[in-house]
Chains A and B, each alone.
Chain A
Amino acid sequence: MQAFVPGSEVDGFRLGEVIHIGSMATIYRLTGSDGPLPLVMKIPRLGPGERAVNVIAFEQCRMVLGALPQSPHHPTLVTFGDVETTPYLVMEYIDGVRLDGWVHEAPVGADEIARLGSALALSLHDLHRQGVAHLDLKPTNVLYRTTGEAVLVDFGLAHHGYYPDLLAEELRYPVGNWVYMAPEQVVGIRCDPRSDIYALGAMLYQLATGRLPFGNPETKAQLRQRLYREPIPPRSVFPETPDWLQEIILHCLEIDARNRYASAAEVAFDLANPSQVTLTERASRGRRSKLAMLARRWLRSRNFEPAPCPPASDHTGPAPIILVAIAPGQVEDALFEALQDAARRLIAADDRCRIACVTAVPPAATLGGRRYEETATGRHIKHLVNLRRWAKPLQLAEERVTYHVLESDKPVAALVDYATMNDVDHVLMGGPKAGAPARLFPGVSAQVASLAPCSVTVVRSRAGN
């Protein structure tokens, strides 16, 4: 057995300082003649006293990470050693701060939690869209780059729908971190990306309150508590927690995966738009369920039936977000109705989709006018009313539609940024009429269509209407 100490050589790579010692592996910086390289080497902990799962996690990590394309949201796998002789992974070094830094300072402010949480949720969504569930999310496995993007590390327990799950055999006891583990993982389900949403909720809970939602379970019985009881609502632990944040956290921590957010993109959306969070009973919950309810749930939990895993990624994501761009001042004309028709067709095609009604307006003059409608607030409300008027005939449930007035001199950039930040799946917007005279510069719809990160449908009213 080779000893791995800084300075020793592994397959031609020279080990530098140890940067992390996990329960399954140790991570070293690599060095060259001019100092540290932007690479790390991960070596599984093997040998006497170590668990067999360490080497399986190594294989799983290699397989999942090797299958993922380069992305800012996870380290790139550079090369790997043979599992039988010298198992190691060489990966990109992530220059970032681990989330546990914030955890030690919890309770953290709600704005900061929203920023950290939405970046993390977007990274998760990026992963889920590729058929991967991380399944071992914890504050030490989340790093933040200086640009604010969240990076997920350690894919040793991850599940990729396109590859055999080498950890399935380890089902006899739940693998992963018990603190952040979802109820379905407790009973051995390893294919549900919504398990990551639960872990995300547990981390948000910890950031908001400074406490763990279910403590630090040491026995299987303590671990199983989450199959039948919810955590103490965050506002009861730390009263300064805003209601929208409690709503988001408890929505993530639902026992049944089907009652959680359907996608991490939705969590990111809500965290990025606190004013748009639909508050339910969760937001105002003051205490846990009554004893009688607990007893009933406890009885049922002995035969806990986890939700079936959603089918493997189908590129569109489980709950698409559709951005409908309404031009400011657009009233009930033919185009207004054409947009409604187009949205209606999309809603009929997928009953889980959410509609974000957006309008981009030039920033209001700071002084404002004399009349109320001319003040900044008045104008803002006028635009909101117009958006609501557009959406009303669609008769969507409250939680499926949101309204946003973006103040910007550059409507194209504002819409594209919004679509990018919120991981919008589809943009719906009006275009110039058919047969309109050719223009020297492309219009807003043409520019959005060329710059948006997703599909864009340009809707036009029929000529002659």
Chain B
Amino acid sequence: MKLALFADIHSNLEAITACLSHAKALGADRFAFLGDLVGYGADPVAVLDLIEEHAADGAVVVLGNHDAAALGRPDDTLSSHARLTIVWTQAQLGEKQRAFLAGLPLSVPDDDMLFVHASAAAPEQWIYITSLREAEDSIRAANTSYIFCGHVHEQKLFYMGADGHPLPFRPVPGTPIPTGKHRQWLAIVGSAGQPRDRNNKACYALADLERSRLTFFRIPYDFALAAHKVRSAGLPERIALRLERGA
């Protein structure tokens, strides 16, 4: 059983399509979309429809802060660029997409896994996991072997040490990491639709649940087309540049 994990897709149809087809080629049969399905990018409707199709087949989908903002819930943390694209996104969404977003939970527990956009400690507060302290809080709150999340756009793996404190690890793309269930693991799978680490390849992760292995991937995709769509839609130039440069 292989579970493909995508986060921070941000209305980037080209990126999520490339990641999905990569995962399916590797035998992925379960899918999880870890929030921030919309915002920034130019394809909110197509992306939401694609994810809704997967949800109908049993994929896990959780709500992100941009998705909540698109539903009109106030969010003071968003930048002015982000807010601008949220207003634009709201105008694009139809009743179907709004209803889909409105039905999304903040987190989904599943056996020894927990799916959440930000921190499991307080999903609705959209806490960025950038330090060991935040990672520890999330791991303790979830109390599962695995937490899969996004919100922070860079790929990172935290693992609980025997002394009860997590340790950080920066995964090497394409290298399967043995992630035994006797430990606790918090994986930030990285942004599929808006990478920001000066590498414009889309991020996702694939968990081999039977063999307890987790592999992080970086997938090249047609970022030029995605950036072109952003410009054509009249969205801020900064967002198109970010797709091109990955920063």
Contacts and interface: CB of A to CB of B under 8 A. Distances in A.
The yes or no verdict on A and B being binding partners is yes
Interface string B153-192: 0000101011101010100100101101110000000000
A161 B172 contact: yes
Greatest chain B CB density within 10 A among A83, A168, A169 is at: A169
A66 B175 CA distance: 12
A67 B172 CA distance: 13
A63 interface: yes
B167 A83 contact: no
Interface in B6-41: none
A312 B177 CA distance: 16
Given A83-B180, A84-B182, A164 B172 contact: no
Contacts of A56: 162
B167 A163 contact: no
Interface in A250-298: none
A162 B175 contact: yes
A164 B180 contact: no
A59 B180 contact: yes
Nearest to A312: B172
Interface in A13-72: 52, 56, 59, 62-63, 66-67
Greatest chain B CB density within 10 A among A56, A164, A312 is at: A164
Contacts of B167: 164-165, 168-169
Contacts of B177: 163-164
A84 B175 CA distance: 24
Contacts of B180: 59, 83-84
Nearest to A168: B167
Contact of A169 (B161, B172, B175, B182): B161
Contacts of A169: 161-163, 165, 167
A164 B165 CA distance: 14
Contact of A52 (B162, B169, B175, B178): B162
**How many B residues touch the partner, as a band?**
10 to 19
Q: Do most interface residues of chain B lie in helix, strand or loop, or is the interface mixed?
A: loop
Nearest to A172: B163
A166 interface: yes
A66 B212 CA distance: 14
A394 B178 CA distance: 49
B157 A164 contact: yes
A83 B178 CA distance: 12
Contact of B175 (A59, A83, A163, A168): A163
A166 B166 CA distance: 10
Nearest to A131: B172
B182 A83 contact: yes
A325 B162 CA distance: 55
A116 to B, nearest CB: 34
A52 B180 CA distance: 17
A60 to B, nearest CB: 10
Nearest to B161: A169
A254 B97 CA distance: 65
Interface string B88-121: 0000000000000000000000000000000000
A168 B178 contact: no
Contacts of A162: 172, 175
Nearest to B168: A164
B162 A66 contact: no
A66 B176 CA distance: 11
Contacts of B169: 163-165
A66 B178 contact: yes
A56 B167 CA distance: 14
A164 B181 CA distance: 15
Nearest to A169: B161
Contacts of B178: 59, 62-63, 66, 163
Nearest to B170: A164
A188 B180 CA distance: 25
Contacts of A161: 172
A76 to B, nearest CB: 17
A168 B157 CA distance: 14
A52 B182 CA distance: 14
Greatest chain B CB density within 10 A among A56, A62, A163, A165 is at: A163
26 contacts: A52-B162, A56-B162, A59-B178, A59-B180, A62-B178, A63-B178, A66-B178, A67-B175, A83-B180, A84-B180, A161-B172, A162-B172, A162-B175, A163-B169, A163-B177, A163-B178, A164-B159, A164-B167, A164-B177, A165-B167, A166-B161, A168-B161, A169-B161, A169-B162, A169-B165, A312-B172
Given A84-B182, A169-B167, 6 more contacts: A62-B178, A63-B178, A163-B169, A164-B157, A164-B177, A312-B172
Interface of B: 157, 159, 161-163, 165, 167, 169, 172, 175, 177-178, 180-182
Interface of A: 52, 56, 59, 62-63, 66-67, 83-84, 161-166, 168-169, 312
